[in-house]
Every structure is written in C-alpha cells, then in structure tokens.
Amino acid sequence: MPDEAPDPAAGQRAGAMTGKVVVLGVTGGIAAYKAVSVCRMLVDAGCHVVPVMTRDARRFVGEATFSALASEPVMKSLWGEPDAIPHTRLGRRADLVVVAPATARFIGSYANGISDGLLLATVMATRAPVVVCPAMHTEMWEHPAVQENLEVLARRGVHVVSPEPGRLAGGDEGFGRLAEPGRIVDCVLGLLAGDHSKAGDHSKAGDHSKAGDHSKAGDHSKAGASLSGVHVLVSAGGTREAVDAVRVLTNRSSGKQGHAIAEAASLRGARVTLVTTTDRSVPHGIEVVRVESAAQMEKALLERSISAQVVVMAAAVADFRPKAAFEGKLHRSDGLPEILLEPTPDILMELSRSRRPGQLLVGFAAETEKVAERAKLKLLAKGVDLMVANDVSAPGAGFDADTNQVLLIDAAGSVEEIPLASKHAVAEAVLDKVARLMGPGRAPGQG
C-alpha cells in the first residue's frame, strides 16, 4: 500500500455520495499505485466504484488490489467481459469517469478520438463528466503534444486535475507528479455534488440523435453554485522584491490557496484570470499571468480588473521593498549593505478605489493574533466585501500547508468559521460565500 498522508477532509467526505457510479480508469504510469488511495477514498465517500485498468496499468499494480477495494471487479477489455458491449453500458451507468493516473498515451488517444480499448471507448461513449489526472515525467508533461492534447480535451469540457511538482520515478524531481488523491477526490465529489440534473441526464445519455448534443457534452454540471459567465480575477503567491541581482525580499506564501480558488472557480464555469508569483502549473482554460514584484502584480491586476465581476486578492504582497535594488551582486567582502525600504503599493486599496460598480472584492488577512478583530478593521479600511482571515501561526493552516482554517467575514459583520480542511475545500467555501454575496441583484453583467 502507498504511504498515506493524514487526510483532514476525509471526515467531511464520508458517505456523502451514496450510490453514485464512478468509473475509475487507471492507466500505465508509475503513479498507478496512488489510484488505490483514490479508489478507497471514493468508496469511503459512498461512491459505487467500477475500476477499469489498461493492460499496462496492470504491469504496475495488480488487479486484485482494485477488485478487492472497489465496488466491482476490475474491467479490462472490450472483449470477453460478461457484457457484450461493455463500453456503452459503462458509459451510460457512469455518473462520472475519472482517469488517474492518465498517461500521455491515454491523453493523446482521447484527444484524437481513438477508442482502442475499454477505457478509451468508455470515455468516448459516456455523456457523464470526465476528469483526467495526468501524471508523467516533466519532459513528457512539457511536450507540446501533451499540452495541446490537454487543451483540446479542456476545450471539450473534460476536467483536468493538473499534476504537481515533487518527486518522480527514478529519483527525479520536477513537475508531473500525480495530484494528491485528496485533491482528485475533492474534484470528483465536487462535480458529483453539483450535478443536480443527473436523473434527467441518464435518460438523455444514450440519445445520440441530436448532432448538436456533442458540443454540450462538455457542459457538465459544476461543483457548488455555478459561476458560469462570471469573470473571476485571482491573485496568488508572495511577491518578491529585488535587493540586488540575485537576492529578493519575500514571504512564506506558497500560492496554494489562490491557485485552489482559481481552479475551483474554473470548475464552476467562471472565466478565470490568475495573476501569480509562483511557477505552479495551472489547469487549462485559466488565463495565467506570471509576475514577481508588487509593482508588476499591481499593474497586472489593475489592467485586468476592468472586466472582472469578482476579484480575489489571495496573494501575499510585500509591505516594504528596497528603495532601489543594488546593481550586480553584493559580496560579503563589500561589508554590510544599508538597505533602505519604502512601502509597496497597497494593491487591495487600489483595487477597491478603482472598482467597477457591482464588482465583488475579496481580501485576505494573514494574522498571527487577534485575527477576527484585525481582519474586520482591514475589511473596513480597504472597503472590501469579504475578508478571508487566517491565523497563519495555527497548526495546519496558512502558508505552504495543504490545509487551511479561515474566518469568512463580510461587510455586514457576519462571521463564518471554516474549520481545518484542504485548501481546495476552503476555496469552495469562499466561492460559495462569493456566490451568496453576488446574489440575484449583483448577477454578472449587471455591474
């Protein structure tokens, strides 16, 4: 069994999805072992999991493991299953298909409509949402063929759970590691939870008579309240301010929470622009702007906020920066440098001042004490609609952790406590609150 990190969101997921049929596709990548955890977490959440393994996946993990943990024995082939037409039957039964890990080969075949195997034929035959979780070495991940194939899939409405940086096979480090099972499961359960029209969809699933339906195949229900048609602008990460040619002043922000919000908003159908200081990968369909300093972030945000209905300022912007960066590299032999600091632009304040009518502005407050009190003061001072306040000194919360624990404080004074949960779950809670605050009177386009 793979190592399993404690999963703080497990309790929240338990039994939530009674009877939802999830087809779990496993392809032949080194990360196939992690699909065992995905399988178990989905079963624990109450899903009826049908595992489908490719031939090469079975070289990595024995089918007996999945057959024992899933709700049904492993399915492997278009030929020789008890059902004579297994792919269409499976495609229609599925409430959702998730492929984890998804190899470059699978992604390429799927993008090109090649259905030479049970799993590929099933994703081609289904009208249920499909979630693809790529995993591969960095070189393969960065290959234009893989990126273009994923773009094609994302355009068609396939949900892509992007890989992460970290340890890869053969001792390598880099980008391309399968997303953590908890993140994959959160995405699956989020989509299933938002899928209110599913009963009706089942009867329509087999109705291929309308050619136009194919374009709708990607219009799957989104997790939580829909943000379809809303432009959401999100900032993420800690800014870096140059001291000299090689050194920077920065902070401990990892950008994980901002990226999680951008991903969650995109899954809800929003048009998302993410301004980030990190080099984290960003799922297809999200416009990403990479910046470094507070000044660059301010420019990027102010330019793009003009069209945004929601602005989420999750980035940790430096409060001070060196007045001028030293030329070249400072050396120890030069003696101690005198670094004069000056304030950086107050981006949240600028966004508040320049905001368009009806635009909803969300700020973040990272505090180490008197969290609610300070966050309320910041909300008033900056004139924002919602403040997400977190105690960055609390265990498991704040910078670089995969989990967070926040207070959602709105301008009317309401305080909602979101207990320790994955940053993706916190992102969903923030967006639920945003959707409630937008309300019918602040619907997109009415600003």
Ligand X SMILES: Cc1cc2nc3c(=O)[nH]c(=O)nc-3n(C[C@H](O)[C@H](O)[C@H](O)COP(=O)(O)O)c2cc1C
Q: Which residues are catalytic?
A: 251
Judged by beta carbon, residue 58 or residue 89, the one nearer ligand X is: 58
Q: Which of 22, 24, 130, 136 binds ligand X (CB under 6 A)?
A: 136
Judged by beta carbon, residue 32 or residue 311, the one nearer ligand X is: 32
Quote the least distance from Cβ 133 to ligand X, whole Å: 11
Judged by beta carbon, residue 158 or residue 360, the one nearer ligand X is: 158
Site for ligand X in 274-303 (CB under 6 A): none
Per CB under 6 A, the segment of 26-34, 269-277, 360-368, 398-406 that binds ligand X is: 26-34
Site for ligand X in 99-128 (CB under 6 A): 103-106
Q: Which of 7, 9, 24, 29 binds ligand X (CB under 6 A)?
A: 29
Judged by beta carbon, residue 29 or residue 238, the one nearer ligand X is: 29
Residue 401 interacting with ligand X (CB under 6 A): no
Cβ proximity of 190 and 153 under 8 Å = no
Quote the least distance from Cβ 7 to ligand X, whole Å: 23
Judged by beta carbon, residue 165 or residue 444, the one nearer ligand X is: 165
Per CB under 6 A, the segment of 29-37, 311-319, 414-422, 426-434 that binds ligand X is: 29-37
Can you give the three-state secondary structure of the chain, one letter per residue?
CCCCCCCCCHHHHCCCCCCCEEEEEECCCHHHHHHHHHHHHHHHCCCEEEEEECCCHHHHCCHHHHHHHCCCCCECCCCCCCCCCHHHHHHHHCCEEEEEEECHHHHHHHHCCCCCCHHHHHHHHCCCCEEEEECCCHHHHHCHHHHHHHHHHHHCCCEECCCEEEECHHHCEEEEECCCHHHHHHHHHHHHHCCCCHHHHHHHHCCCCCCCHHHHCCCCCCCCCCCCCCEEEEEECECCEECCCCCEECCCCCCHHHHHHHHHHHHCCCEEEEEECCCCCCCCCCEEEECCCHHHHHHHHHHHHCCCCEEEECCECCCEEECCCCCCCCCHHHCCCCCCEEECCCHHHHHHHCCCCCCEEEEEEEECCCHHHHHHHHHHHHCCCEEEEEECCCCCCCCCCCEEEEEEEECCCCEEEEEEEEHHHHHHHHHHHHHHHHCHHHCCCCC
CA distance 151 to 135: 16
Quote the least distance from Cβ 380 to ligand X, whole Å: 50
Residue 57 interacting with ligand X (CB under 6 A): yes
Quote the least distance from Cβ 50 to ligand X, whole Å: 17
Quote the least distance from Cβ 135 to ligand X, whole Å: 5
Residue 363 interacting with ligand X (CB under 6 A): no
Per CB under 6 A, the segment of 53-61, 121-129, 275-283, 286-294 that binds ligand X is: 53-61
Quote the least distance from Cβ 180 to ligand X, whole Å: 16
State the pairing for strand pair 341-343/320-322: antiparallel
Site for ligand X in 168-197 (CB under 6 A): 169
CA distance 32 to 141: 17
Judged by beta carbon, residue 52 or residue 286, the one nearer ligand X is: 52
Quote the least distance from Cβ 107 to ligand X, whole Å: 8
Q: Which of 22, 24, 27, 38 binds ligand X (CB under 6 A)?
A: 27
Judged by beta carbon, residue 28 or residue 194, the one nearer ligand X is: 28
Quote the least distance from Cβ 151 to ligand X, whole Å: 17
Residues that bind ligand X (rule: CB under 6 A) add up to a total of 16
Angle in degrees, CA 42, 43, 47, rounded to 5: 75
Judged by beta carbon, residue 184 or residue 270, the one nearer ligand X is: 184
Residue 339 interacting with ligand X (CB under 6 A): no
Q: Which of 54, 65, 239, 266 binds ligand X (CB under 6 A)?
A: 54
CA distance 318 to 238: 7
Give the residues lining the site for ligand X (CB under 6 A): 27-31, 54, 56-57, 103-106, 135-136, 140, 169
